[in-house]
Amino acid sequence: MVDAFADEVFRGNPAAVVLLDEERSDGWRQSVAAEMNLSETAFVDVRGDDPIPLRWFTPVAEVDLCGHATLAAAHILGGERRFATRSGVLTAKGTARGIELDFPLDSLEPIEPPGFLAGALPGVTIMDAARGRDDFLVRVASADEVRGVRPDFAAFVRGSSRGVIVTAPGDQGADFASRCFYPAYGIDEDPVTGSAHCALGAYWAPVLGKSLLVGKQLSARGGTVEVAVSGARALLTGRAVTVLSGRLGC
């Protein structure tokens, strides 16, 4: 288990990393992810050639893209790595600032806020809204408003998107702040969401007129993601800490 987008234990987003030395069924992988009961469990087929096969499972479903569990896998494997995933080939390499992930930048479409958000985010005044590949993104006025969001998870519409990102201009040295909610995937609030920063980078880079940004996710655990927007790619940088290691008894 690795705490990703953190430089100390019990911060950032915990991910399980399972190194596979034999084939395992999708059902087995899903059962392990449910047993781990973390936002994501990464399954890395260490028998694979370059690029290394990598898949991610929440406690209830497989997902197409996950940043923090990729960071965790790269942290465990070390060196520069290329991963074969449902979102194409993703690369990870060490830098002076941490581990840099090369991910696809999201493509955002401005929208009118869908009706369910009024019930899902009670008391929130939405200033702007967009739809990305996976998530709705809504902008509010301030980082304090992001901190104060108290979602009604029963009001989230299942199947309409992966989840909802709430964001605002940052404070305390950050360019932007965010929180991310994914109840449809068994995760009411994700502590630090790497993949969401592909959308956050796409949104804030033109708004702020800069291509290198620092985002802070304001969950209870909290975490920092550095985002560099480069063409159609988002370069996400963060640190990771190993919490425990062992062997599955199944």
Task: Decide: 139 and 121 in contact? Cβ < 8 Å.
Answer: no
Strand pairing report for 163-169 and 98-104 = unpaired
Distance CA 96, CA 104 (A): 22
Angle formed by the axes of helices 196-208 and 67-77, nearest 10°? 110
Least Cα distance to 163 among 116, 218, 214 occurs for 116
Residue 195 included in any domain: yes
Same domain? For 221 and 113 the reply is yes
Task: Decide: 229 and 62 in contact? Cβ < 8 Å.
Answer: no
Amino acid letter, 202: A
CA distances from 119 to 48, 96, 168, 195 (A): 46, 44, 20, 25
Position 161 scores a pLDDT of 85
CA 18 from centre of chain: 18
- Catalytic residue at 8? no
pTM of the model: 0.95
Same domain? For 179 and 154 the reply is yes
- Residues 151-195 have pLDDT tens digits of 999 998 766 789 999 999 999 999 999 999 999 899 999 999 999
Residue 104 included in any domain: no
Helices (H) and strands (E) in the chain, counts: 5, 18
Q: Which of 8, 22, 35, 40 is catalytic?
A: 40
- Residues 224-250 have pLDDT tens digits of 999 999 999 999 999 999 999 999 999
Same domain? For 95 and 114 the reply is no
Position 159 scores a pLDDT of 64
Residue 200 included in any domain: yes
Residue 247 included in any domain: no
Q: Which domain does 10 fall in, by range?
A: 2-99+237-242
Position 157 scores a pLDDT of 79
Position 138 scores a pLDDT of 97
Distance CA 234, CA 5 (A): 16
- CATH code (residue 25): 3.10.310.10
Same domain? For 172 and 204 the reply is yes
- From first to last of its 250 residues, the chain has per-residue pLDDT tens of 999 999 999 999 999 999 999 999 999 999 999 999 999 999 999 997 899 999 999 999 999 999 999 999 999 999 999 999 999 999 999 999 999 999 999 999 999 999 999 999 999 999 999 999 999 999 999 999 999 999 999 998 766 789 999 999 999 999 999 999 999 899 999 999 999 999 999 999 999 999 999 999 999 999 999 999 999 999 999 999 999 999 999 9
Same domain? For 88 and 135 the reply is no
